[in-house]
Amino acid sequence: MNRNRILFGIGVLAFVSVIVTVRLGGFLVDNEYRQPDRQVAAQEEQGETELTPRQQGIVDEQAADEAEARARPYEEAEYRTVPFVGSRVTVWVLAQLHLLFAAFVLAVPLFAFIIEFVGYVKKEERYNKLAYEFTKLLSVSFSMTATFGAFLTFGLIILYPKFTNYLMHIFSPTFLPYVLLFFLEALFLYSYYYGWGKFGPKMHLFLGFMLNIVGTAIMFIANAWLTFMMSPGRRDDVDGDGVPDFVSAVSESGALLSLRDAFFNFTWMPINIHRIIANVAFGGSIAAAYAAFRYLQAKTDEEKAHFDWMGYVGNFVAIIAFLPLPFAGYYLAAEIYAFSQTLGIQMMGGTFSWLFVIQAALIGNLFLGANYYLWLGMGRMEGGVHFQKFIKWLLIAIALCFAVWATPRYAISSVSEIAAMGGSSHPQLSYLGQMSAKNTAVNILILSTYMSFLLYRRTGRQSVHPHRQLLTRAQAIVFSSAAALVIFYGVYGYYVDAAIRIRFAIPQVYSVLAALVVITVIDLPLYRNAAQSGETKWGRMPAVSQYALIFIALSFTWLMGLMGYVRSGLRQEWHVYGVILDTSPDAYTPTLGFATQVVSVTVLIFFGLLGVVFWLSSLGGKKDWEPKAVADGGDRLEGGQAA
């Protein structure tokens, strides 16, 4: 018996089962218990209907419900609940999904515009094609962003009506500009996408530029809403004593005093900066994951070469944006601490501090993944073996820094471990859990990643600059001086007071940034018109490299979800910190384990939806549908016509 017959038999069986079940149910209901007395029988003979006990019960229940509904006075609901998952988790997941798609939609135009501009300046068509490939992802993602934005808005109105009403009371004047900007965003986005090749290059670049301006403005408005919830006021030296004062945007009862102060609040600008950079890093990584997805599907060498290059550029954008991200994060955290010591201590030393150990593990993975991809990329070029010997040392540096960064100050320990250590911190390892060690580790990680990139850039190329030896030595001196300075401050930090130690982070950061800039400035002329020892073979990457790109995108997404929770969760039992209390049953702070589970599920949903976006975006490149060829007497008929 073949497979089709079995499937057909199962289908018939299922159909018959359904019919039998329905008929049986009907039979049982029709023959239910009735009172057997003569009076009822007489009533039935006279045509009066009689209710069975079950039917009578239903009628009584309906009457009672109706009476109760009429007696109940109208009340404004403060909160509503969602069965099983709860209202907080519902809004949390919706907000996160909206934000992830929004971040992607804001980031892709940014680097698509830059790539298109580079193509315009260099007069190279391949850049134009690449920018268009990135933009293809936007259309569906934009709809997803809007859909989850609507979900989130309805979620807030239904589940947190009183609080949502309060936010409307504060920010209602910003809603109309927001909607108008959203309309403009749609206009520019679709004209940018559908107008590809239809407008002149300057006009098209202008559309891309406007798309970015409008998108950024939208984000700035939405950022005001969420940062107000954390810091409802601005910082200003009102009394002129040189010390900043807190100017509250609302009264003690929550009434609006100044929309300007509510909008341009304490943490608004740090979030704006952090989000722009993080969006680019995230968008680059997702675009690279898309390229990886297409690379793995690619059938021809040409397709493979194209998507390999696309993945490389996406990852390059992600890593370049990622390098300054720890500094932007540091700025944001410092501003949160400056606004409220409660929030600051809670974040870095209290309940939420353990999430920063997880953050360290994720960022370590990102660095490792990014370097790994670069090392594999050396295989694209002839002559790549020359630099392979350095990988070992780079890997040791990266793994050591990763381990230092992930070392907790106070370890999770059993009773016997605590007894052996004499406390929650290990006598030797606790040194690695301090800020001096962490700052040193992250700076060396950045330098190592940059070194990997330099090696990749040099693979298969030979400088023809007349002073190449001198310039290479200068680069080596700058690099080792920066590394030495970072390590010096890291070690010296243990010998000075905490207040001075904190300030050491600044020269460490500046020395690394200066090294990156100086080395790049030297490297550009050094390798201009360099002699190629072999051809760069795009598309010659092992499959594992593409999984590395997907891994990087996954880590970025997880990181965004986690840190988004930290920023939002820090308020704890407050809707608006210090002003509007959360009195819902969900006001408690969830355990770290539960929070990470919610983040993980959200990331899974996002990647599932992203799969749909990738699939829809790839449909454009597929062949048009044609009727199947039909064999007829040895002749093949196609498209309904005789061959």
340 binds other proteins (CB under 8 A): yes
Measured from the CB atom, is 300 or 414 closer to other proteins? 414
Measured from the CB atom, is 158 or 376 closer to other proteins? 376
434 binds other proteins (CB under 8 A): no
Q: What does the alpha-carbon distance between residue 541 and residue 553 come to, in Å, rounded to a whole number? A: 18
Q: Which of 338, 487, 616, 637 binds other proteins (CB under 8 A)?
A: 338
Shortest separation between residue 530's beta carbon and other proteins, angstroms: 22
535 binds other proteins (CB under 8 A): no
Residues 19-48 that bind other proteins (CB under 8 A): none
Q: Which of 213, 376, 592, 605 binds other proteins (CB under 8 A)?
A: 376
Q: Single out the residue of 218, 252, 249, 255 nearest to residue 231, CA to CA.
A: 249
500 binds other proteins (CB under 8 A): yes
Q: What is the CA radius of gyration of the chain?
A: 32
346 binds other proteins (CB under 8 A): yes
* Contacting range for other proteins; rule: CB under 8 A; set: 26-34, 37-45, 127-135, 426-434: 426-434
Which residues have C-beta within 8 Å of that of residue 341, sequence separation ≥ 6? Answer: none
482 close to 511: Cβ distance less than 8 angstroms: yes
69 binds other proteins (CB under 8 A): no
Tell me, residue by residue from 556 to 585, as one string, x for binding to other proteins by CB under 8 A and - for no binding.
------------------x--xx-------
Helix (H) / strand (E) element for 632: namely strand 630-632
Shortest separation between residue 551's beta carbon and other proteins, angstroms: 10
418 binds other proteins (CB under 8 A): yes
Q: What does the alpha-carbon distance between residue 105 and residue 112 come to, in Å, rounded to a whole number? A: 11
Measured from the CB atom, is 174 or 342 closer to other proteins? 342
Q: Which of 315, 407, 557, 617 binds other proteins (CB under 8 A)?
A: 407
Residues 583-642 that bind other proteins (CB under 8 A): 589
266 close to 335: Cβ distance less than 8 angstroms: yes
Q: Which of 415, 619, 642, 643 binds other proteins (CB under 8 A)?
A: 415
Measured from the CB atom, is 26 or 350 closer to other proteins? 350
Measured from the CB atom, is 213 or 257 closer to other proteins? 257
Shortest separation between residue 415's beta carbon and other proteins, angstroms: 5
Measured from the CB atom, is 339 or 565 closer to other proteins? 339
Helices (H), 31-137: 38-45, 53-71, 87-122, 125-135
Q: Which of 534, 542, 585, 621 binds other proteins (CB under 8 A)?
A: 542
The neighbouring-strand residues paired with 532 are: 461
Q: Which of 284, 311, 384, 561 binds other proteins (CB under 8 A)?
A: 384
408 binds other proteins (CB under 8 A): yes
Amino acid at 410: Y
Measured from the CB atom, is 357 or 530 closer to other proteins? 357
For CA atoms 303, 304, 307, 309, give the dihedral sign. negative
Q: Which of 391, 435, 522, 601 binds other proteins (CB under 8 A)?
A: 391
490 close to 439: Cβ distance less than 8 angstroms: yes
* Contacting range for other proteins; rule: CB under 8 A; set: 117-125, 189-197, 375-383, 510-518: 375-383
Number of residues that bind other proteins (CB under 8 A): 72
Measured from the CB atom, is 309 or 387 closer to other proteins? 387
543 binds other proteins (CB under 8 A): no
519 close to 479: Cβ distance less than 8 angstroms: yes
Q: Single out the residue of 140, 182, 134 nearest to residue 283, CA to CA.
A: 134
Shortest separation between residue 515's beta carbon and other proteins, angstroms: 24
Give buried/exposed letters for 341-372 (b at 16+ CB in 10 A, else e): eebbebbeeebbbebbbbbbebbbbbbbbbbb
* Contacting range for other proteins; rule: CB under 8 A; set: 148-156, 253-261, 457-465, 491-499: 491-499
530 close to 461: Cβ distance less than 8 angstroms: yes
Q: What does the alpha-carbon distance between residue 510 and residue 527 come to, in Å, rounded to a whole number? A: 25
Measured from the CB atom, is 41 or 399 closer to other proteins? 399
265 binds other proteins (CB under 8 A): no
Shortest separation between residue 166's beta carbon and other proteins, angstroms: 18
110 binds other proteins (CB under 8 A): no
Question: In the block, which residue shows the tokens 């820090």?
Answer: 570
Q: Which of 140, 378, 446, 512 binds other proteins (CB under 8 A)?
A: 378
534 binds other proteins (CB under 8 A): no
Helix (H) / strand (E) element for 461: namely strand 461-462
Q: Single out the residue of 556, 513, 607 nearest to residue 322, CA to CA.
A: 556
Which residues have C-beta within 8 Å of that of residue 462, sequence separation ≥ 6? Answer: 530, 531, 532, 533
414 binds other proteins (CB under 8 A): yes
337 close to 293: Cβ distance less than 8 angstroms: no
Q: Which tokens belong to 395?
A: 């890997």
Q: Single out the residue of 555, 104, 512 nearest to residue 370, CA to CA.
A: 555
85 close to 155: Cβ distance less than 8 angstroms: no
Measured from the CB atom, is 407 or 557 closer to other proteins? 407
163 close to 580: Cβ distance less than 8 angstroms: yes
Q: Single out the residue of 276, 115, 208, 147 nearest to residue 612, CA to CA.
A: 147
413 binds other proteins (CB under 8 A): yes
Q: What does the alpha-carbon distance between residue 108 and residue 111 come to, in Å, rounded to a whole number? A: 6
Q: What does the alpha-carbon distance between residue 156 and residue 150 come to, in Å, rounded to a whole number? A: 10
246 binds other proteins (CB under 8 A): yes
Q: Which of 21, 55, 62, 388 binds other proteins (CB under 8 A)?
A: 388
253 binds other proteins (CB under 8 A): no
82 binds other proteins (CB under 8 A): no
Q: Which of 322, 372, 504, 565 binds other proteins (CB under 8 A)?
A: 372
Shortest separation between residue 319's beta carbon and other proteins, angstroms: 16
